Structure 1
Amino acid sequence: MRTIAQKAGMTTGAIYRYFPDKNALFAALVGPTADEIKHHFEKLAHFQMRMLELHNKIEEFAESSDSLLQVVDFIFNRFEVFNLLINRSAGSAWENYVDSLIELDLTSTQAYLEKMVQMKLLAQSPPPRHLAILVKQSYEQVLEIVASQMSREEALEYMQLLIPFLYAGWSTVLGKNT
């Protein structure tokens, strides 16, 4: 708090007049954008399910590639908040925020795969424990952009390697030819 107060040109006591503790300050900094991030991922999951229902097929490589590149843009348009949530939230009430996104995604992925099984597009879904690991690892690979403090250019270069890697992996898991 002293460092923050000093950089803001305030006393520590003045900061505490506005924020009762570090968690309140952290929440003020990340809360609105964190809610927006969660809403964005919920919308994306809903959209993917809707596309599956309408087209009776899973996304093609180009479609999934575009979706991941849009996620990169989304991250970079909110990079400071992502940085706080990923690299600076330890010890705060927000330290498990990314885990909450992963849980949200896991739930929607399970529903998506169940729908694929119902539509006979998939013989069976991976075991829940394995699916949870795969979803978590996919998130960690994408969020490495923030964890490693990549520039936008580095992130786009990295995504050119990661997108085919993820697509091939998920296609293999889902029994689809790449």
Structure 2
Amino acid sequence: MNETSQTTLDLILEAAAKEFLAKGFQSASLRNIVKTVGMTTGAFYGYFKSKEELFEALVGEHYDFMLNCFQKAQTEFAQLPVQQQPENLSNISGLCMFDMLHYAYEHLDVFKLILCGAEGTRFSGLIDEMVEIETTATHNYMNVLKSLGRPAPFIDQRLEHILITGMFNAFFELVIHEMPLDQAEIYLQELRTFYTAGWMKIMGQ
């Protein structure tokens, strides 16, 4: 792609980000984006096939990074010897949550798009996907506790879903409200302390 095309692409992405942030994906106008850039709709389709593809170009890489980061932390924990898992329960996931927080703050507008403006796209399900990963990891850990002969009481699936969803909603509230990073780090630590204590109590640990 030549320099002129790259510049035009940058202008399209910049105009699209502003439009999507202001109105959300569903209400955003492709016509407004094209008008802002000063190009024809036909010329736009030389870069992107649809509004969906344009939105994907803005957020797709970052969405995948966030999910992969979280999944990697769960996989690393599950690969620990079972005897070591209880004592490392909060270490790996804790580091991951701070990594995710810092990444989200480095790409704040992108994650505000994902969290607040992605309705109508596959990206609106970020929290749901993370809840699914965490739920699977929780079930696996309960099986580890059983194998170690430690208490592993039954947890109602509806309650489990509510608690895990609440945890991620609380986490992403820090991003949505653009809390200063130093304060967000403190609040994240306090949220982790709160949820860890609650889960340990429910799990009988």
Matched with 2:104 is 75
| Match status 1:121 vs 2:146 | no
Distance (whole Å) between structure 1 residues aligned to residue 84 and residue 122 of structure 2 = 41
Q: Does the CA contact (< 8 Å) of 1:33 and 1:81 recur in 2? A: yes
Structure 1: unaligned runs, 5 residues or longer: none
Greater C-alpha radius of gyration: 2
Matches within 5 A, 1:65-104: 65-104=94-133
Q: Does the CA contact (< 8 Å) of 1:113 and 1:125 recur in 2? A: no
Count residues in correspondence: 176
Letter in 2 for 1:171: M
Matches within 5 A, 1:131-170: 131-170=160-199
Q: Does the CA contact (< 8 Å) of 1:106 and 1:132 recur in 2? A: yes
Structure 2: unaligned runs, 5 residues or longer: 1-29
CA RMSD of aligned residues (A): 2.5
Letter in 2 for 1:164: T
Distance (whole Å) between structure 1 residues aligned to residue 198 and residue 171 of structure 2 = 14
Change (3 A) 1:63 1:32: closer
TM-score, normalised relative to structure 1: 0.82
Letter in 2 for 1:139: F
**More displaced 10-residue stretch of structure 1: 149-158 or 60-69:** 60-69
TM-score, normalised relative to structure 2: 0.72
